[in-house]
Amino acid sequence: MIIPEGLNNLEQSLDSEDKSKEILCQSRKKRVTERFCLETFTNVHAMKKLKDPCYQCRQGAALRVEYAFDKYPSNRAINACLVMAKGKNIQPWVYRVLLGS
């Protein structure tokens, strides 16, 4: 099984202590770690918390693209990630962008 390098880096940062890089969260207007951002972004979508500021967060989507799909978080990839995270009406272009042609 091939593990994307970005995902491997994230797994290493999830060991026990959060050693991931700090970023300025644009949605919450505070400093958080990349791990916190990524976990919150995925949890908000899993629980369908539509009113949470992380639900439409492009910053969280960019991290998801980078770590989960091992791709550069271009605008098109971020848009595809947000569509996929919502989980409905996923068009073929979303899979092409995130998973490759």
| Domain that includes residue 89, residue range | 25-99
Residue 44 domain flag: yes
Question: CB under 8 Å, gap of 24 or more: what pairs does 49-55 form?
Answer: 53/27, 53/28, 54/27, 54/28
Q: How many domains does the chain have?
A: 1
Residue 92 domain flag: yes
Q: What is the pLDDT of residue 49?
A: 94
Residue 43 domain flag: yes
List, in sequence order, the alpha helices (H) in the chain: 5-13, 34-46, 58-68, 75-86, 92-99
Residue 31 domain flag: yes
Q: How many CB atoms lie within 10 A of CB 60?
A: 29
Query: Would you give per-residue pLDDT tens digits along the chain (101 residues)?
Result: 455 555 556 555 555 677 789 999 999 999 999 999 999 999 999 999 999 999 999 999 999 999 999 999 999 999 999 999 988 888 999 999 998 85
**Nearest by Cα to 73 from 86, 85, 59, 84:** 59
Residue 80 domain flag: yes
Residue 19 domain flag: no
**Nearest by Cα to 37 from 14, 60, 17:** 60
